[in-house]
Chains A and B, each alone.
Chain A
Amino acid sequence: MTAPTIPARPGEDARLRPLPLRRMAWATWRQHRAALGAVAAFLGAVAVYLWLTGLQMHHAEATYCHPVSSIACSINFTGKYGETVIVVSIALQAVPALIGAFTGAPVLARELETGTYQYAWTQGIGRLRWTVGKLVPLAVAVTAAAGAFTVLLSWYNQPFVAAGYVTLFSPRVFDLLGVAFAAWTLAAFAIGVLAGMVIRRAVPAIAATLAAYAALAFATGLWLREHYLTPLVTSNPNPPGSAWVISGWYTKGGMFAFGDRGNGLLSALAQLCGTAGQRVIRVTGGVEHVLGSSQCLAQHGYTHWTSYQPSSRFWPLQWIEGGWLLALSILLLAATIWLVRRRAT
C-alpha cells in the first residue's frame, strides 16, 4: 500500500481569505442582464394589458354590480368579461414557468455547453463562490419581480372575487395570488438551474423545466393543495358561498352510505325518490351535481355531509404553499451547488 507521497500544505488556504461574494455582483449583472431585462419587458407588456383591461372591468363592476345579483351585473360585467378573465388566468399560469425556465436553465447549461465553465471555475474566486454568487441574486431578483407582479394580479382579479364570480381557491386563481405566484416563480427558477446543470444544454434544459413545472403545478392543484389543512366537515346543506368545497357524501345511521356524485347516489335516488329526483344538472367545471335530491334523501334518513376549506383559510393555505415551494427551491439550489462542487469534467 502506497500512501500519497505529496506533502500537504493546508496552512496556505487559511492564509488566503476567500474573495468576498460581492465580487460576483458585476459578473452576474453583466452576464444575465439581458435575461433579467427580457423578464422585465415581458412582465411589463403583460402588466400593460392587465392594467388596461382591468380598468374597464373595475369600472363595469363598480357601475353595475351593486347589488351583485342584479341583471345588469350579469350582462355588463360577468357576462362581458367572464370568459376573458378565465382565459387570462389560465394563460398567466405559464408566466412563472416561462420566467423560471428562461432565466434559470441557461445559467449553468450555457457555461457547460460552450466550455466557458473551464474559464469560470478556474478563477481565484473558486467555483463554489462563483455558483452561490450567481444563483442567489438571480433567484432573489426573479422572485421579487414576481412578487411585485402579484400586486397587479390581485387588483385584476378583485372585481370578480367581489362579485362572487371566482373563489380565491379556484385552481386558476389561487396560485396567482398571495405569496404563491412568487413562490412558484422561484421554484421554476430552481428547477431550471438544476435541469441546466444535469442536462448541460440550455434548450433541452428549458424544455425539461417547463415539463417538470407543469407536472408539479398540476399535481399540486389537483391533489395536493386540498390536503394542506384537514378540511372542515358540515351537514349544513349550504356551506358558506366563498368556501372551497372539496367533497360530499351521505350517511345513514352514522354509517357512510355513498358519495354525493356517482352511481351509488343515482341508484339510491332511483329507488327512493323516483325519477323526479334524477334531475341531473351540469354545472360549471363539468361536475355533475344532483339537485333537489337532498331533501328527498333526508326524508329517508340520509344526512348530506360536505368537507370544505373556509375562506378564512386562504392565507394559511397560501403560506403553506409558499413555504413548501421555498423549501423545495432551496433544496434544488443546494443540490445544484453540490453537483457543481463534485462535478468531475
Chain B
Amino acid sequence: MNTNVIETSGLGKRYGRTWALRECTLAVPAGHVTALIGPNGAGKTTLLNLAAGLASPSAGAVSVLGGLAAGSRAALDGIAFVAQDTPVYKNLSAADMLHLTATLNRRFDKPYARARLAELGIPLDRKAGKLSGGQRAQLALTVALARRPTLLILDEPVSMLDPIARHDFMANVMTAAAGKGGGEAGGVSVVLSSHVLADLERVADYLILLSRGQVQVAGEVDDVLASHRMLTGPAAEADTYTQRPVVHAVRGAAQAHLLVRATAGDPVPPGWEAHPVGLEELALAYLREPGAAALPGPARSRQAEPSKVIR
C-alpha cells in the first residue's frame, strides 16, 4: 500500500505577524529516507513541528501516517521525534532516559536500546549532561528508535556534530532504518532535515527541497536526477535556449551552464553538451532560484487555486 507518512495541504504557520510556513502542500511517501532540504528560515523546523504535533497549524491541514491528525494519540504513538539540538534531560542518566521513555510509551525495546548504547560506548550510568554532543545525539536517536516508530522525524540531527560524528550518526540512521521500525515489514520511514545537503546525500532516497515555506522539488532522488541535465555551451546562445525549462543559468565570459529539466533522451542543441547532474549541484541551483519548481510524484496534486484558511 502506498501511504504517505506526512501529507499537508495549504499548510501555514504564523508566529505573530510572520509566516514561518505558508501554503505548503506536499506528501512524504512511506518507506523512504526523506531528506528535507532548505536554507535557514525555509520553514523546515516549523513543518516538522507541525507533523510531530508540537505546533498546530494557522492555516491548512497536516496529517500523518496515512491520514491521522498530527498530535493525535495514534499519531504520537507511531512517530518518534528528535528535535533540533537533540534535547535530553541533562540530570538524567542514559539508563534513566531509557526507563523514562519506556514508561511514557506503549512500546519500548529496552534490550535493543541497551545493546545499542553499549555498542556506541555510552555508559548507562553517565548523566546525559556529561555526554559529548555526538553521544547525546546518539542517545536521543537510540531512545527514538527503541520506541519502534512507524515514522522517525529528525530535525537537523547533525547540526551540532563534528564531521566524524556526523558520518557515524548518519550511518547509524541508515542501519537502524533498515529494520527496526513499527511499520509494515519492520521498516521505519525516516524524515531528516538539514540545511546542508552533503549530510543527507548518502542516506536519502527521497528529496524535498523547501524554500520560503514552498516546495520546489519533491521526488525520489533517482527520478529527480534523471529528469535534470546540465547543458554547457556558448554564452551568447544561452538566452535562446527554450526547448526545456531552465532552472538556473550560470554565464561565464565564453561558456554558459544551464541546469534544465530534461531527460537523457531530450535533444541537445548543436554546439551544446549535456551532462548528468549531481544532487548537490541540483539542490544549489534550486536554492538560488526560489521561484523555480519541479514537482514530480505525489506533490503534483497541488491545487492551482490558493487554499483558504481552514482552522
Contacts of A4 in B (CB 8 A): 9, 60-61, 310
- Whether the Cβ atoms of A13 and B81 lie closer than 8 Å is no
Say yes or no for A26: interface residue by CB 8 A criterion: yes
* Option from A2, A8, A123, A342 in Cβ contact (under 8 Å) with B67: A8
Residues in B47-79 with C-beta less than 8 Å from chain A: 49, 52-56, 58, 60-63, 66-69, 72-74, 76-77, 79
- Whether the Cβ atoms of B63 and A118 lie closer than 8 Å is no
- Whether the Cβ atoms of B55 and A345 lie closer than 8 Å is yes
* Option from A12, A30, A34, A122 in Cβ contact (under 8 Å) with B72: A12
Say yes or no for A41: interface residue by CB 8 A criterion: no
- Known contacts A114-B90, A344-B55; A122/B76 CB under 8 A: yes
Say yes or no for B163: interface residue by CB 8 A criterion: no
A3 to B77, CA, bound (A): 27
Which stretch, B95-103, B246-254, B279-287, touches the partner chain A?
Answer: B95-103
- Whether the Cβ atoms of A9 and B67 lie closer than 8 Å is yes
Say yes or no for A55: interface residue by CB 8 A criterion: no
Which stretch, B111-119, B193-201, B232-240, B301-309, touches the partner chain A?
Answer: B301-309
Chain B: residues with Cβ within 8 Å of the partner, total of 53
> Distance (Å) between the CB of B174 and the closest chain A CB?
23
- Whether the Cβ atoms of A15 and B105 lie closer than 8 Å is no
- Known contacts A30-B100, A124-B147; A118/B67 CB under 8 A: no
Contacts of B73 in A (CB 8 A): 13, 16, 18, 124, 126
- Whether the Cβ atoms of B67 and A6 lie closer than 8 Å is yes
Say yes or no for B104: interface residue by CB 8 A criterion: yes
- Whether the Cβ atoms of B74 and A15 lie closer than 8 Å is yes
Say yes or no for B85: interface residue by CB 8 A criterion: yes
A119 nearest in chain B by CB position: B87
Say yes or no for A130: interface residue by CB 8 A criterion: yes
Say yes or no for B83: interface residue by CB 8 A criterion: yes
A6 to B76, CA, bound (A): 18
Say yes or no for B106: interface residue by CB 8 A criterion: yes
- Whether the Cβ atoms of B104 and A12 lie closer than 8 Å is no
A selection of 15 A-B contacts at a CB cut-off of 8 Å is A4-B60, A8-B69, A12-B72, A18-B73, A27-B100, A31-B92, A115-B83, A118-B83, A119-B88, A119-B89, A122-B54, A122-B76, A130-B104, A342-B56, A345-B49
> Distance (Å) between the CB of A20 and the closest chain B CB?
10
> Distance (Å) between the CB of B49 and the closest chain A CB?
6
> Which residue, B49, B55, B56, B87, has most C-beta atoms of chain A within 10 A?
B87
Residues in B167-221 with C-beta less than 8 Å from chain A: none
Instruction: Determine chain A's interface SS by DSSP, over half rule.
Output: loop
Size bracket of the A interface:
35 or more
A9 to B63, CA, bound (A): 10
> Distance (Å) between the CB of A213 and the closest chain B CB?
27
> Distance (Å) between the CB of B102 and the closest chain A CB?
9
Q: Which 7 A-B pairs have the closest CB atoms?
A: A118-B83, A124-B105, A123-B104, A115-B87, A12-B74, A4-B61, A6-B63
* Option from B10, B61, B104 in Cβ contact (under 8 Å) with A124: B104
A18 to B106, CA, bound (A): 9
Say yes or no for B156: interface residue by CB 8 A criterion: no
- Whether the Cβ atoms of A115 and B54 lie closer than 8 Å is no
Q: A18-B73, A23-B103 are in contact. List 6 more A-B contacts (CB 8 A).
A: A2-B310, A26-B103, A118-B81, A124-B105, A126-B73, A126-B76
A130 to B103, CA, bound (A): 11
A13 to B71, CA, bound (A): 11
* Option from A7, A118, A125 in Cβ contact (under 8 Å) with B104: A125
A8 to B55, CA, bound (A): 19
Contacts of A34 in B (CB 8 A): 91
Say yes or no for A284: interface residue by CB 8 A criterion: no
Contacts of A16 in B (CB 8 A): 73-74, 77, 106
Contacts of A63 in B (CB 8 A): none
Residues in B22-56 with C-beta less than 8 Å from chain A: 49, 52-56
Say yes or no for A1: interface residue by CB 8 A criterion: yes
Contacts of A312 in B (CB 8 A): none
Contacts of A81 in B (CB 8 A): none
- Known contacts A8-B67, A13-B73, A126-B76; A2/B308 CB under 8 A: yes
> Distance (Å) between the CB of B291 and the closest chain A CB?
23
> Distance (Å) between the CB of A338 and the closest chain B CB?
14
Say yes or no for A56: interface residue by CB 8 A criterion: no
Say yes or no for A311: interface residue by CB 8 A criterion: no
- Whether the Cβ atoms of A118 and B76 lie closer than 8 Å is no
- Whether the Cβ atoms of A6 and B7 lie closer than 8 Å is yes
A116 to B308, CA, bound (A): 34
- Whether the Cβ atoms of B310 and A119 lie closer than 8 Å is no
- Whether the Cβ atoms of A27 and B104 lie closer than 8 Å is yes
> Distance (Å) between the CB of A3 and the closest chain B CB?
7
- Whether the Cβ atoms of B310 and A3 lie closer than 8 Å is yes
- Whether the Cβ atoms of B56 and A344 lie closer than 8 Å is yes
Contacts of B89 in A (CB 8 A): 31, 116, 119
